[in-house]
Amino acid sequence: MAHHPHVHMIVPGGGIALDGKRWISSRLAFLLPVRVLGKPFRRLFLTRRLQLRDAGKLTVFGSVAHLADRRAFVRHLSRYTHRVAISNRRLISFDKAGVTFRYKDYRREGSDGRRS
């Protein structure tokens, strides 16, 4: 798989009430309305990354040096900001030792490239 630094986050299923004395659980599906927050998050994420890149504070080198081109950089980021990285259908199992998922190895010849 290609080199792609990224961040995983765990978000609690609720929050402390404004009075600081009790826990308020979120709805079962989401803590915050994903559809409402998704677009502003993507916009801010991309904008800030481009600002860092343009200011010379975010550099690329080695196997990802082609991302020095602004358009290539935006295309690369949009893959991660506009879809789920690993969908549930690709997950095989998980336990204390790790996570197993299916992926496609595009460099593997002679098969459909599916791996796990």
Per-chain mean pLDDT for the chain: 77
Supply 9's token pair.
């986050």
Residue 109 scores a pLDDT above 80: no
Can you give the pLDDT at residue 20?
A: 92
| Confidence label for 112 from pLDDT (cuts 50, 70 and 90) | low
Report which listed range, 1-15, 47-61, 66-80, is most confident.
47-61
| Confidence label for 107 from pLDDT (cuts 50, 70 and 90) | confident
Can you give the pLDDT at residue 115?
A: 58
Residue 84 scores a pLDDT above 80: no
Higher pLDDT, 114 or 43: 43
Whether this model's pTM surpasses 0.85:
no
